[in-house]
Amino acid sequence: MDNHYSIINILKRGALTGTIFTCVWATWAYFANIEHGHAIALKSAITQASFTIVNAFAFTVIMGFMFAYSKGKIQRLMLAFLLPNSITASVLYSMHWYRDTPNILVTVLPSILVIATLSLIYVLVVGPKKHPELLED
């Protein structure tokens, strides 16, 4: 296993994606709920930001480890794609429901779809091309 999957590099990627996605999705949450007033839009943005900063970091770290240490395409797909995406979608929707976000689906669906698409591309295409030594199918 090369340096790309070292603990420090996985943690750095987690911090970078956490920061980027927090800015993007908190801004989206604000504008998706602005029709209900500034206070509600801000509450939605803060809810999204507080979840995204933790989730994007954890998601990236878990996906990196699961990809690096799972054996076979099916196990990699289940552990590095399906598990983190299912947890993310469930927790994100629940948080916005609990915090009374008015436009929950409009608020969360874009981020869920983008992250699911990016993680699927990574698990099936990018990761295997970058690191064929990890594949033992």
- Decide: 60 and 10 in contact? Cβ < 8 Å: yes
Alpha-carbon gap, residue 73 to 83, rounded angstroms: 14
Count: domains in the chain = 1
pLDDT in tens, 37-96: 999 999 999 999 999 988 888 888 888 888 888 888 888 889 999 988 999 999 999 999
Q: What is the CA radius of gyration of the chain?
A: 16
Rounded CA-CA distance 62/14 in Å is 9
Cα–Cα distance for residue pair 30/40, rounded to 1 Å = 8
Q: Is the dihedral of CA 73, 79, 85, 90 positive or negative?
A: positive
pTM (2 d.p.): 0.79
**12 CB neighbour count, 10 Å cutoff:** 12
Range of the domain at 114: 3-134
pLDDT at 1 over 60: no
Closest CA to 13 of 67, 50, 93: 67
